[in-house]
Structure 1
Amino acid sequence: MSTGPLVKAKIQSIEGKKIEVTCLFNPKEYQLQRSNNWGSAENSTKNAFDLTFSGSSGAKLSMQLFFDTYLQGRAPGSSEAQDVRVYTDPLWQLMNIDDTLRDPKTQKGRPPRVLFTWGKNWLFNAVITSMQQQYTMFTPSGMPVRAMVTVEFQESAEHRTLMADGTSARSEAIRDVAASVAGDLRKRFR
């Protein structure tokens, strides 16, 4: 087990408007799910069906993120804790339609693709498909200071990433995003 510094999990847009969310607390657990699709054809001479592979779905990642500003500290110049929505609203922005990300055929915008990172070795290229936020603690004035956010991601093979010089590069390979965020991992494990 590593004794290095704690690395915070992050969720960031990899296209469109630049949005980055650093988790106040890392997830205590997460769930990965993936499925293969099999079709069956009836066969009157056997007790079991003949199965035919018909495709695979990308992985799904789900987790709960805990946000707490009550214990974290007070807002500058205030005796009250900071509103927790300062930290959770950017997550909701990652679900909003970005008009700069238009489909060439329909000219309709869409939400951005995102990258979930936790340290330099854990990257998940995806879109956010679902989010639910529950406020669990409030100040006497009614301001939320604690929230639990459940986020579900769907893996995305295609992405557009912004390079350091501001140009856009398109790739089908997650290793390109991984290299831009974490460097060349092959060199680290030789």
Structure 2
Amino acid sequence: MASLELMKITGYTDEDFQNKFSGSPYTFMINPDNIKVQKSIEYNEQQAPATSSASQKYKSSPSDKLSFDIVIDCTGVVDSTRTDMATEITALETIIYTYNGKIHRPNFVKVQWGQNISFNGVLDAIDVSYTLFKPDGSPLRAKVSLSFSQYVSPETVTMTDAPESPDLTHIVTVTQGMSLPQLCEKVWNDDSLYIQVAGFNKLNKFRNLNGIDKLIFPPVNPSNS
């Protein structure tokens, strides 16, 4: 008889999910009985003159969402070696929630369960409800609600439309000798958009881009230039 495979969460310190966070992954004691995966599409509603209803113009596809509830049981019935609730919550939060000073943000995380569930993302929210206590008030059982957003690094952003569209995110390789306005002219045929690109990338220079390999060209609004 095959052994029960438990869901686990692994922390990573890089957005490509190659460098694991120090320490072991957090393995849950009890698998979830329900997992929710949410996909969505965002539209801008536009109503043409002399029409009775608005039409939906594609805006973007937000990242996928993963959410589920987990029970942590420290009564000793599920696992006699894991009976301290504070230790369990700290171990989980250290991987998914706690600020990591080395990367100046919480860890990236991979949620895995068997062969079919493997989700690379970042934590959106964690809610802990304690449901059983010792006579002295120490918690013995907790319900933990977790929600994650899928994470895709800028280098792997897929461009799904024409490369000259200002409505989409682009990763642009900086050509030696070109200024930021020249790059905007090359990508969008509009050099006036350089101010928005500079602000998004936190640049303090427009002309000399030496030392910069790639820039993120975010969705822009020509009216804001």
Whether TM-score is above 0.5 comes out as yes
SS state at 1:58 partner: coil
Q: Deviations over 1:118-177 (max 9, x none)?
A: 013310000011001111111223221111100110100129xxxxxxxxxxx749xxxx
CA distance in 2, matches of 1:158, 1:7: 29
> Closer, same or farther in 2 for the Cα pair 1:141/1:150, shift >3 Å?
same
Amino acid paired to 1:72: V
Q: 2:4 aligns with which of 3, 6, 17?
A: 6
Q: 2:109 aligns with which of 101, 108, 114?
A: 114
Question: Which residue of structure 1 aligns with residue 102 of structure 2?
Answer: 100
Question: Which residue of structure 1 aligns with residue 55 of structure 2?
Answer: 50
Shift of 1:44: 2.9
Contact 1:114/1:126 (8 A) holds in 2? yes
Which stretch shows the higher mean deviation, 148-157 or 7-16? 7-16
CA distance in 2, matches of 1:112, 1:25: 23
CA distance in 2, matches of 1:130, 1:118: 20
What TM-score, normalized to structure 2?
0.60
SS state at 1:146 partner: strand
> Closer, same or farther in 2 for the Cα pair 1:36/1:26, shift >3 Å?
same
Whose Rg is larger?
Answer: 2
Contact 1:83/1:143 (8 A) holds in 2? no
Aligned length: 148
Q: 2:130 aligns with which of 128, 135, 155?
A: 135
Question: Which residue of structure 1 aligns with residue 74 of structure 2?
Answer: 69
Amino acid paired to 1:83: D
What TM-score, normalized to structure 1?
0.70
Shift of 1:51: 1.9
Question: Which residue of structure 2 aligns with residue 167 of structure 1?
Answer: none
Question: Which residue of structure 2 aligns with residue 104 of structure 1?
Answer: none
SS state at 1:140 partner: coil
Please list, as runs of the form range in 1=range in 2, the aligned pairs for 1:79-90 lying within 5 A after superposition.
Answer: 82-90=83-91
CA distance in 2, matches of 1:21, 1:158: 24
Question: Which residue of structure 2 aligns with residue 17 of structure 1?
Answer: 21
CA distance in 1, matches of 2:64, 2:83: 35
CA distance in 2, matches of 1:6, 1:172: 35
SS state at 1:89 partner: helix
CA distance in 1, matches of 2:11, 2:28: 14
Amino acid paired to 1:31: K
Runs of 5+ consecutive residues of structure 1 not aligned to the other structure: 76-80, 102-108, 160-170, 174-190
> Taking every aligned residue pair, what percent have the same amino acid on both sides?
23
Q: CA RMSD in A?
A: 2.2
> Closer, same or farther in 2 for the Cα pair 1:98/1:26, shift >3 Å?
same
Contact 2:131/2:139 (8 A) holds in 1? yes
CA distance in 2, matches of 1:85, 1:113: 23
Amino acid paired to 1:28: D
Shift of 1:95: 0.7
- Bigger proportion of residues as helix: 2
CA distance in 2, matches of 1:7, 1:40: 46
- Bigger proportion of residues as strand: 1
Contact 2:10/2:110 (8 A) holds in 1? yes
Shift of 1:74: 4.7
